[in-house]
Amino acid sequence: MASSANIVVGSPVWVEDPDVAWIDGEVLEVNGDEVIVSLTSEKTITANVSSVYPKDADAPQCGVDDMTKLAYLHEPGVLQNIRSRYDMNEIYTYTGSILIAVNPFRRLPHLYGSHMMEQYKGADFGELSPHPFAVADAAYRLMINGGISQSILVSGESGAGKTESTKMLMRYLAYMGGKAAAEGRSVEQKVLESNPVLEAFGNAKTVRNNNSSRFGKFVELQFDGRGRISGAAIRTYLLERSRVCQVSDPERNYHCFYMLCAAPPEDVAKYKLGNPRNFHYLNQSNCYELDGVDDSEEYIATRRAMDIVGISSDEQDAIFRVVAAVLHLGNIEFAKGTEMDSSEPKDEKSRLHLATAAELFMCDVKALEDSLCKRVIVTRDETITKWLDPDSAAVSRDALAKIVYSRLFDWLVNKINSSIGQDPDSKLLIGVLDIYGFESFKTNSFEQFCINLTNEKLQQHFNQHVFKMEQEEYTKEEIDWSYIEFIDNQDVLDLIEKKPGGIIALLDEACMFPRSTHETFSQKLYQTFTSHKRFSKPKLSRTDFTICHYAGDVTYQTEFFLDKNKDYVVTEHQSLLSASQCSFVSGMFPLQPEELSKSSKFSSIGSRFKQQLQALLETLSSTEPHYIRCVKPNNLLKPAIFENKNVLQQLRCGGVMEAIRISCAGYPTRRTFAEFVDRFGILAPNILDRSNDEINSSKTLLERVNIKGYQIGKTKVFLRAGQMAELDARRIEVLGRSASIIQRKTRAYLGRKSFILLRLSALQIQAMCRGQLARQLYDRMRRETACLKIQRYWRMYYSRKKYRTLCSSIVTIQTGMRVMMARNNLRFRRQTRAAVIIQSQWRRHLARLQYLRTKKAAITTQCAWRGKVARKELRQLKLAARETGALQEAKNKLEKQVEELTWRLQLEKRMRSDMEEAKTKENAKLQSALQEMQLQCKETKELLETEREAAKKAVEQVHVVQEIPVVDNAIMDKLTVENEKLKALVGSLEKKIDETERKYEETNKLSEERLKQALDAESKIIQLKTDMQRLDEKLCDVESENEILRQQTVNTPVKRMSEHLAIPTPKSLANGHHDNQEKSNEPQTGTPVNKYGSEAENRLRRSQIERQHENVDALIKCVIQDIGFSQGKPIAAYTIYRCLHYWKLFEAERTSVFDRLIQMIGSAIENQENNDHMAYWLSNTSTLLFLLQKTLKDSGTVGSTPSQKPPPATSLFGRMTQGFRSSPSSANLSVSGIDFSRQVEAKYPALLFKEQLSAYVEKIFGIIRDDLKKELTSSLSSCIQAPRTSRGSGLRSSGRSFGSNSPTSHWRMIIDSLNSLLSTLQQNFVPLVLIQKIFTQIFSYINVQLFNSLLLRRECCTFSNGEFVKSGLAELEIWCSQAKEEYAGSSWDELRHIRQAVGFLVIHQKSRISYDEIINDLCPILSVQQLYRICTLYWDENYNTKSVSQEVISSMRVLMTEDSNSAESSSFLLDDNSSIPFSADVISNTLQEKDFSDVKPAAELLGNPAFQFLQQNRSESYTSILRL
């Protein structure tokens, strides 16, 4: 409550309202202890100051997630905060460690998915939004880390959502603790599947809930030492047995009765059931069906759940037979019998139901009738049988029905526990208590009395926990709390359960006396507790009593207290059912020895329940408790309806208000030093200007405003109740005075501004008038001056024109004469120069022609001589080839000669091409000279014609100029002679040109004939090679035949047969080549020549194999080192590729080289954490993969026309030299022996190597990407939390700053990490596509982490945090622009979610934005769920800007409701994509333009003679591969 000193005019306050509990308003006037308040409902009321509560005007519109952060922790503040969050679809709220859950009455699947469990896993309590997962995670973490068992108490009234909250807790605990299998099914699954079974037999429709649990449940989850679920147990409390026989309208009995009546026809016939309206236990109420519930489907679902739990089909039949028997028992009616005070079944219908019940119980019909109508009294001397009157028989019938149903329910619980299994070795457990809340109805009977006793006991436990938490908070902050009074309800508990004078003790005493009634029991209560402050007697009732509980006064009616408290089994009933032929029924009622000597044994339900309750509290006391209070927002069970009074009553009954009362007894208002100074610093601004210590500033500020009783902790300021309102009142006064000063200064500024504008306007008008007069005077003076200038310039122009005409005539005459003389001189010089040029060109042509003829003759002679020598040697080779012994020697000699001839042929071709090129150049020069001469002749003719015409014109104009002669006869004669000479010269030149062209054609024909001869010689050489190879094969065949013949002549017949049947098989070498040699001993009878050739060939092959192994070892030893790059290409990849291609391993059927290379790459990247090393191998592997992709083709996938070529060699030497004879044209023959003009048809080892190499590229890519993600994780967490840290250490004003840490340092760390990786990738020349993909996925990861943190943490969804994140995103944008698109790619686009979210946060006037503008312009990429989450979480502590309007929120809520059935649209969190975003084809297409001709091989290998091929013909080879 507020005091009159804290309430001033203009203060926002809360006032009690009979309709909505509390309503807000503004104080208009204060008159002593009364205030006049203007309400938001447009009413004005007068209220007492003591009934008015202050309202926090700075509270966020969407509320706070922890109500301990409220400035005013009182009833209206708590109610308003819960309502604000409920309107924003935030159904969970903390009150310290207590979770308040408001039932939304709608599906919210996005709050309970596996992604949400992953987010809450390991998160600190309170770090994320309130959620049952957070409570379960805190309990699990405390159990694992502290070794202490935990308990979670879920309470609330019927329909508040206790069962659903319990299911969520069970799901999360199973997620954290694993699923230890038991008999094929998990413990958690069996516990959850037990819910439908227990709900069917323990739930019923009540006034407030269609599925109300009429029993309490405590589930113990047992964990082993590793934190895994190892067992579970379910305990139940206080089943409402009276509901079996008594049901009030419009409630229903237990669900199982209606399910059985709606069962399939064969089951209904088996149990002899029918319409529920025909049974007495069901037709006491007019409610038989529930909206939206099909009892027949529920029956099938319950049967299925029983199967899962482990109840056999026989046991299920027995269970439902007992349920049907209970219904038939209710239809047995009694009438007076023939004996006095006796009874018997009323009619045939009753006897039919009696017989049916006996049949279902499998007992004797007469025995059942006697147990209902008679009692046997055993005395010391004799046994007496007593008849019961009809009323007593009906009571006996109901007692039998209740005890049978109660035993059935207990059997189900025990069966479920035995099926689930318990771990006797478990020392840790987490208990989940789902128990009824406080109940207060118009009629409260014994059940409500026991329920409220439970809640009183739990409330005491809750109060002790809350007080303990308060103590821990005060101790942690090191403040004095010893004088704080603890509020306890022990007096109510003593009133109810104290012995011997408690209510339960008096009730047990009354039940043991046969003649006691509820009136005598009530009188006993009145006499005993007359003076008790918690007990009272209603004025208008003689048997009721009222108890003042912590949640309010409850009046109990005692009519049925005695009957409901009795818990004994009648001896006749026990004997009857224990003798049943049904083992299930007899098992529920086993015979006990003490019952044989007594007719009945009294047992009190109240006492037994008290013992169970005490055992439960002992269990809870041994654990660390956690609390969830479930609240039902309305009694209509519909969404979006919040009834203030109903919710307020539940908060009181749930103990939330009691916890607030305990908190208010101490220090309810707690603020960190930064928040306190930020809010109340205006009360003493001079203190902040000269101090940088928040603690001293807070203390001095409180002393300055004269506040007493506060406490200064280590991190917070603790204020007593009412002190926050006093500080806010003073703050409002200061703000009011400041507003007045601002208004005064503003009015002065506006007045001065108006005066200055008026004076400025007057000065401007005067200046314009004076300017107009001055401009008119100036215009007149300018016109006079212009007239004088015009006259002067006209006179000057006329005189100048006359003079210039005279001068022009004279100059024209002189010019014509001088031009004629100059032209004649020029003409003579040009003719002389042309003649000299023609003579020099002709002499040069004759000399060059003579030289070319001589050179051509010499070459022709050399070619003829060499051809003659070659033919002679060929004939000799053919003769030598006929002798088998010398064939091998001749082969080697011929190969050398072939190579020499090939070289000479190439040299001859090169010389011929040079000669043709020189001849072509000479012809071109002659043609150009001829064209020049023809042009000169043409120009000379044109010049002569021009001069003739000029001469004619000059003769005609002789009378004009008499002084100069026009025609010079001497010159004309001379020119005529020269003209004739030129004509003759031109004619001779034309003849010579024709002759030259004719000789050129002859020479060209001769060159073509020689080229044809050279091609024929080349084809003959190739044919010679083919013949040599065939001879080699024939030689091998002859040797094998000779060897077989020798064996036949030397060995035994058996051995000869085995040798004759043996077939030589070529053997594969390590590098994939094949060895066709046969390991056999040479006989001594062989010829010396053959023996020598075979041994030489074997030694040659063995040496070649050893050299090949040595070459592979040298290659691996070289490339495993960092041999760097050449012209931006990896040397290692280039070297490996060249070697594999040269050795023709791509076509090998079997080889181990590829496996060794893969092992080398794997060992090189194993356990490597250096990104530079990983980038080096990423560059090499990707480049090698590109080369393989371009070179290899699958066998049979690409068809090609087979060309005529020699058969492939089978020996190592033949495969290594096959490139020399792979093409008919020597123009395409490469020095290195590798032909790149076609793709290689790869075999299986090469294709497997390509796939493994592709896998290693993906693996290295993933390692580099994941390493950077791990490096950025801590920085991203700091980035999203940095604004909160900076606000805690500093203030907005520069003069009030207490912090020194720069929040941008975290973003700088991210930029540095990105720059470091980019530099590493650039230095190692990683392909651009891989760099782009790496940074694209990294930016996508940044987007996911920042966006999810924004949606899960309300403190991050603020205006200032949006500005901070936006500045960080600007840094990333600058980085992308600096890195350029070739490296960054589309990385910036991956941040679209966080960019749009942050852009929305930093908008000032959000309330003016429509929904269409948000989804179309501002945030088109965000879903409705994400937008709704941001809008509801948004708050602004600096500028107090508001979120979007309620119309927009309502539109979003409607769309979310429509999409609630879609699983995809329900999730608002983003998932990180860790797939590999590229393939080998992508890499191949990216590296398409790379030129490998300038790559230098590894220097270490160039010194090895076996690797000399690496430096030969690189340009030609890789030009051809790029053409592919």
Going by the annotation, the residues of the binding site for ATP are: 156-163
Cα first-last separation, the chain: 88
Distance CA 107, CA 1465 (A): 13
User: Which of the following is catalytic: 68, 84, 155, 158?
Assistant: 158
Sign of the CA dihedral with 288 first, then 291, 296, and 301 last: negative
H or E element that contains 1138: helix 1131-1142
C-beta separation of 449 from 560 below 8 A: no
Distance CA 82, CA 1106 (A): 85
Comparing C-alpha atoms, which of 68, 83, 76 is closest to residue 13?
Answer: 76
User: Which of the following is catalytic: 216, 330, 437, 606?
Assistant: 437
Sign of the CA dihedral with 624 first, then 628, 629, and 635 last: negative
- Is-catalytic flag, 213? yes
The structure tokens listed for 174 are 């199973």
Distance CA 595, CA 601 (A): 7
DSSP 384-396: EEEE--HHHHHHH
Residue at token pair 């929305």: 1400
Bridge partners, 376 (sequence order): 385
Comparing C-alpha atoms, which of 1096, 1090, 1092 is closest to residue 884?
Answer: 1090
The structure tokens listed for 1485 are 């297409």
C-beta separation of 256 from 201 below 8 A: yes
Bridge partners, 15 (sequence order): 23, 52
Q: Give the number of other Cβ atoms within 10 Å of residue 468's Cβ.
A: 11
| CA atoms within 13 A of residue 586's CA, in its CB half-sphere | 10
- Is-catalytic flag, 163? yes
SS3 label, residue 1234: coil
User: Which of the following is catalytic: 129, 149, 151, 212?
Assistant: 212
| Cis bond upstream, residue 500 (ω within 30) | yes
Q: How far is CA 252 from CA 202, 257, 275, 282, 484, in A?
A: 12, 10, 15, 7, 49
- The secondary structure of the chain in percent helix, strand, coil, rounded to multiples of 5, reads 60, 10, 30
H or E element that contains 575: helix 571-578
- Is-catalytic flag, 437? yes
Distance CA 470, CA 468 (A): 5
Q: Which residues fall in the annotated binding site?
A: 156-163
User: Which of the following is catalytic: 11, 103, 213, 440?
Assistant: 213
Q: Residues with Cβ < 8 Å from 167, sequence gap 6 or more?
A: 192, 195
User: Which of the following is catalytic: 97, 155, 163, 1171?
Assistant: 163
- Is-catalytic flag, 159? yes
Pairing of strands 229-237, 334-336: unpaired
The structure tokens listed for 218 are 């405590």
Task: Classify burial at 128, counting beta carbons within 10 Å of its beta carbon; exposed 0-12, middle 13-18, buried 19 or more.
Answer: buried
Q: What is the DSSP letter of 254?
A: B
H or E element that contains 46: strand 44-48
Cα torsion 1264, 1269, 1272, 1277 to 10°: value is -170
Pairing of strands 624-631, 669-672: unpaired
Q: What is the DSSP letter of 265?
A: H
- Is-catalytic flag, 908? no
C-beta separation of 230 from 240 below 8 A: no
C-beta separation of 360 from 328 below 8 A: yes
User: Which of the following is catalytic: 90, 240, 333, 439?
Assistant: 439
Comparing C-alpha atoms, which of 1046, 1130, 1152 is closest to residue 1091?
Answer: 1046
Distance CA 1297, CA 1287 (A): 10
- Is-catalytic flag, 209? yes
C-beta separation of 212 from 198 below 8 A: no
Distance CA 627, CA 100 (A): 9
Residue 39, phi then psi, degrees to nearest 5:
-85, 160
Instruction: Enumerate the active-site residues.
Output: 158-159, 163, 209, 212-213, 437, 439
